[in-house]
Every structure is written in structure tokens, then in C-alpha cells.
Amino acid sequence: MWSFNRLRDAAIIKTEGILWQGPLSWPGFEKTNDLKKIPDMQGVYLFTFKYQEGYLLYASGITNSTKKRFSTHTREYRKGNYNVLDVMSAEKGERKEIWHGWQYAKTHQDEFHLHKETIFKAVETQLQAFRIFITEISDVRKRERIEAAIMQNIYTSKDHWSELADRGMFLKERYNSEMPIEIRNICSEKIYGLPERLEI
């Protein structure tokens, strides 16, 4: 079976440009934040917060349909299953949790219901504050590789804001049997955490 060898194969790595659209509104908040609606497409999306002269990357995801995926995200946020952050801190690149979702939420339902009103208000504030960027990618495996490379880039960053991003995501990085691709990220806005070039 063929496997990638950097010394032998580096010269044949191809470069592809991908165009990121945004900032776009979280669905349902378009009138509140005066941003355009997310078109329904398959691809990779970014959750960002406003930060300095641009936007700060919080998380990346992949989908066959942004309409269906964001509907699921909204439902899970409002059920208390996702982490909820203090937006003012997030916009400074600092992680301050109001509610910890995932497994903690599943085992602390009494705590969630006790503070449900406060958590729900924080969820709405966070969804309104999110600035979404998307790129259309039809190939499923390429989507997975882009998502993994973006998140690993944040996890290995020494910048203080890298702690904002959620850990523990299930990522499917490039297999050694796959040829690397150099991705050139094209965006009209500055996104901290999204490098101009990224190998996937």
C-alpha cells in the first residue's frame, strides 16, 4: 500500500484555494445582528466571535446541509447539551463557562433545570453573538480533513486565545495513505485561528 513520504513526495503536493463566506448570522438572529442568512449547502463551517479587528475561531464543523445541521445545533444548545460561554470574555479571547454541556450536562440535569432560565438567556446571547463562516466542499473526506487540520492548528497554538476552543472533538485527520493537500484559505475578513495556508 502506498504511503506518503515527505522527502520523496513533498514536491508533488498540490495547492487548492477555498473561499470562506461570512460573517453570517446564526439562523433566526438575522434581524437582530443585521447579518445575512446562511445558505443551505454542504461543506465546512466556522463558529467565531468578534475579536479585535476581525473574528476569533471557536470551533469548526462539517455538514451535508447547513440548514439541518444548524437546526440541530440550536436544539442542542437550548436543551443544555453544549457548552455555554460568557460572550464578553469570549470576545477578549478568554474562556469563561456559564454552563458545561456534554457528559456533565447529562449527569447534572437537576442543576440544569435549577438554572435553566439563566442558561437559556446565555444561550440566546451566544447564538446572537456567533459570526458564522462557511465554505462549500462537496467531497466528504476533504471536509473531514479540513475540519481536523483547522482544529489541530488551534490546539497546538501558543496564542492565549487558543484556550477558547472546545477540546475533545472527534476529528478524522489525514491518513498516511492519503496525499496531503495545501489549502489556501481565502476570506475577506481576518479570522484568528485560521491560517492563510493549511496542510490537510
Residue 177 cell numbers, joined: 495513505
> 95: left (phi > 0), else alpha (psi -120 to 50), else beta?
beta
Question: Does residue 1 register a pLDDT over 90?
Answer: no
DSSP secondary structure code for residue 2 in this structure: -
Question: Does residue 98 register a pLDDT over 90?
Answer: yes
**Whether the Cβ atoms of residue 197 and residue 18 lie closer than 8 Å to each other:** no
pLDDT of residue 4: 93
Q: Residue 105's closest CA among 95, 115, 94, 91?
A: 115
Tens digit of pLDDT for each residue in 130-170? 999 999 999 999 999 999 999 999 999 999 999 999 887 89
Domain boundaries, the chain: 6-194
Q: What is the pTM of this model?
A: 0.95
43-51 and 54-63 strand pairing: antiparallel
pLDDT of residue 97: 96
pLDDT of residue 168: 79
**What value does the CA radius of gyration of the chain take, rounded to a whole number of Å?**
18
H or E element, residue 18: strand 14-19
Tens digit of pLDDT for each residue in 109-119? 999 999 999 99
pLDDT of residue 104: 86
- Give me the chain's average pLDDT, please: 96
**What is the average pLDDT across 166-195?**
95
